[in-house]
Amino acid sequence: MKTVKDTLLQRRSIRRYEREDIPAETMDFIYEAIRNTPTSYNGQQFSVIDITDQTIKEKIYELTSQKQIKTCRHFLVFCADYYKIKQLADSKDIDFPHFEKTLDGVIVGIVDATLAMMSALTAAESAGLGTCCIGYTRTAAPEAVSRLLSLPQGTFIVCGLAIGVPREMPDLKPKQPVGTVIHRNVYKTEGLVESLMKYDLEIENYNRTRSGEKTSNDWASHIIDYYRAAMDYKMLDAIRRRGFDVES
Ligand SMILES: Cc1cc2nc3c(=O)[nH]c(=O)nc-3n(C[C@H](O)[C@H](O)[C@H](O)COP(=O)(O)O)c2cc1C
């Protein structure tokens, strides 16, 4: 087991994996970490699909073009989930308020599923495994992936997590300095742009000199290009079709 410090500070996304199985006890540890995730109201508004079936993984790869999905050993799909509590409410004759049709209901589901993903990621990393979050699981073809996984109404995909034995160890990516990320007591805007400019250059330099494939990307333009592409995702329509008909 890695120390907490190494687990958190030496983490980087791993996109290439060995064809090696993950021991059952390690997966059990990851499941337990997922189960013990803090959740809003202790409502546990999430579920996880652990995909090991190669045919399903390859189908998701075809829909998302994310190679890690077919090469990882376990692909975990984290979903916001109000289906379970609604089923229980129906069985117990409890009148169900449609919290999932409010923006806060949607946020609660996303936060719970995301925290569960972080629990899984941290557990996996501490056990020496490599991980990569895959947002395209949600955005690339939401309906087709949901159908493939037989997701019931009242659930939607938040994010995928590829897990496997690492076959690469890319350089750690520089992150924004503490002063830009952590504001003491109140949000501080002075010096922010100067600090971000320095960071932008740092990333440009990292991209030019990192091991493996190099690019000349700066930080801002590269991220903003992602935003531009993401403007085409129709997530509101997608989650509405899954029973999250957000009204307020
Ligand atoms: C919510 C989320 C979604 C992501 N989606 C993808 C993805 O679809 N494909 C991918 O290759 N990496 C994806 N990543 C990984 C990021 O690109 C990566 O975390 C980021 O570049 C920082 O690099 P690092 O994880 O090595 O620090 C995602 C990360 C997060 C947190």
The size of the chain, in residues, is 248
How far does the centroid of ligand 1 lie from the alpha carbon of residue 216, in Å?
19
Using most ligand atoms within 8 A of CB, pick from 8, 11, 13 the residue to mutate for ligand 1.
13
Please tell me the distance from the alpha carbon of residue 1 to that of residue 196, in angstroms, as a whole number. 35
pLDDT < 50 positions in the chain = none
Any idea what the Cα angle at residue 242 is, between residues 241 and 246, rounded to 5°?
A: 75
How far does the centroid of ligand 1 lie from the alpha carbon of residue 133, in Å?
5
Do 47 and 34 form a contact (C-beta atoms < 8 A)?
Answer: no
Angle between helices 24-35 and 103-126 (to 10 degrees): 150
Task: Please name the residue whose Cα sits nearest to atom 3 of ligand 1.
Answer: 135
Task: Please name the residue whose Cα sits nearest to atom 18 of ligand 1.
Answer: 13
Q: What digits encode the pLDDT tens for the residues 147-180?
A: 999 999 999 999 999 999 999 999 999 999 999 9
Please tell me the distance from the alpha carbon of residue 166 to that of residue 16, in angstroms, as a whole number. 6
**Which DSSP symbol is given to 162?**
E
Using most ligand atoms within 8 A of CB, pick from 15, 118, 134 the residue to mutate for ligand 1.
134
Q: What digits encode the pLDDT tens for the residues 182-221?
A: 999 999 999 999 999 999 999 999 999 999 999 999 999 9
- Residue 154 belongs to what H/E stretch? none
pLDDT score recorded for residue 247: 87
**HSE of 99 in the Cβ direction (CA atoms, 13 Å)?**
18
pTM of the model: 0.98
Q: Which residues' Cβ are closer than 6 Å to ligand 1?
A: 12-13, 15, 66, 132-136, 159, 173
pLDDT score recorded for residue 90: 98
**Which DSSP symbol is given to 150?**
T
How far does the centroid of ligand 1 lie from the alpha carbon of residue 72, in Å?
15
Task: Please name the residue whose Cα sits nearest to atom 21 of ligand 1.
Answer: 13
